[in-house]
Amino acid sequence: MDIDPRRLRVLLAVARTGGILAAADELRITPSAVSQQLNKLEAETGHALVVRTPRGSSLTPAGLAIAEAGEEIERALSVALGRMQGGATVEGVVKVGAFTSFVRTLVIPRLPEWRSQYPQLKIQIVEDDFPVLMRLLRQQQLDAVVVELDSTTAGQQALGAGMIEQPLLDEPWKLVVPSGTLIATENVNLGRLPLPWLGVEPSAANASVLDRLRRTGGAAETVHQYQETLTALALVAAGEGVAIVPTLALAGVVQDGVDVLDVPGLGTRRIVLRRFDRRRTANLPVDTVARLLRESAAAFDTRGHRESAT
């Protein structure tokens, strides 16, 4: 397979914007040029990569695989650029929005190191939920936001002109049940668990998982509604229900009376960084923070531990 890597940028633009026209606007080329590049890329790979629908364009499984490869290349180039710029003075204020578990586990512990490495760079953290973070980003009150998605539905939402999405971490969803509820996790029928599902705040990514399971007969009606993982764990420990939680949210958390299980069919949570495209106007402080966040996420072992530096 001989692929021209320059075409990957076009495929990524379609994936991130959700359509041919939006991708053309993002890349500042004609829609015809976007289609031509996609057709050539499909010919090079021997697979259909994009499906056109009345609502836009979405990637096929083969398209997702190629797009992920493109993201890896993009990420590697960004890291290389960061190292090349290591001798440059990075100064300014960068405001980053993120959700609780990411801030607690992957950002706050690294702040002293980053402050020592870049003394003129001020990183300000805003912790909030998905709708608020996206609104602040669009209002340019934040420079970048870290958001969570159910990987099954990731890429289905158009980002809007000028906004890009960079993957940070994929991690498995976990099933949390009261201790001793399930003896084995093989062949678990998610639609016939002995306790009800706990409801979660609608904008959270695990709410999308519950909706997905409900459509496939794997989840019934929910009870309660929580926002923080600690609340979910306390409800589970009290025997009120079962919950779906991401690996990252469990890092460093101890809760008696619960079992955390790996169950086939739950899928993964995708954590991404969203920001406006700065390629046309270089922004070294934001680029640097984006690189630091990617490196922090890359160092996280999805089993729930941070990998050692050795």
Q: Which of 156, 150, 149, 139 is nearest to 16 (CA)?
A: 156
Task: Return all residues near 154 (Cβ < 8 A) that are at least 6 apart.
Answer: 270, 272
Q: What was the pLDDT predicted at 121?
A: 95
- CATH topology for 5-85 is Arc Repressor Mutant, subunit A (1.10.10)
Report yes or no: 299 and 307 within 8 Å, Cβ to Cβ: yes
Q: What was the pLDDT predicted at 156?
A: 57
**HSE (CB half, 13 Å, CA atoms) of 17?**
23
| Tens digits of residue pLDDT in 72-104 | 787 677 666 666 665 567 899 999 999 999 999
H runs (alpha helix) in 155-204: none
| Percent helix, percent strand, percent coil in the chain, to nearest 5 | 40, 25, 35
Instruction: Give dist(CA 273, CA 144) in Å, integer.
Output: 7
| Tens digits of residue pLDDT in 178-200 | 999 887 666 788 888 889 999 99
Q: What was the pLDDT predicted at 1?
A: 62
Domain boundaries defined on the chain? 5-85, 92-167+269-299, 171-267
Query: Mean pLDDT over residues 152-174, rounded?
Result: 78
Q: Do domains 5-85 and 171-267 have the same CATH topology?
A: no
Element (H, E) at 291: helix 284-298
- CATH topology for 92-167+269-299 is D-Maltodextrin-Binding Protein; domain 2 (3.40.190)
- The per-residue DSSP string of 59-88 comes to E-HHHHHHHHHHHHHHHHHHHHHHHHGGGS
Instruction: Give dist(CA 88, CA 208) in Å, integer.
Output: 42
Could you confirm whether domain 171-267 is CATH 3.40.190.10?
yes
230 or 282: whose pLDDT is higher? 230
Instruction: Give dist(CA 222, CA 261) in Å, integer.
Output: 19
Instruction: Give dist(CA 129, CA 203) in Å, integer.
Output: 7
Query: Mean pLDDT over residues 114-138, rounded?
Result: 95
235-250 as b/e: b if 16+ CB within 10 A? bbeeebbbbbbbbbbb
| Tens digits of residue pLDDT in 128-160 | 999 999 999 999 999 999 999 998 776 556 676
Query: Mean pLDDT over residues 204-233, rounded?
Result: 89
Q: What was the pLDDT predicted at 263?
A: 87
Q: How many CB atoms lie within 10 A of CB 216?
A: 10
Q: What was the pLDDT predicted at 260?
A: 93
Instruction: Give dist(CA 25, CA 17) in Å, integer.
Output: 10
Q: pLDDT class for 227, splitting at 50, 70, 90?
A: very high
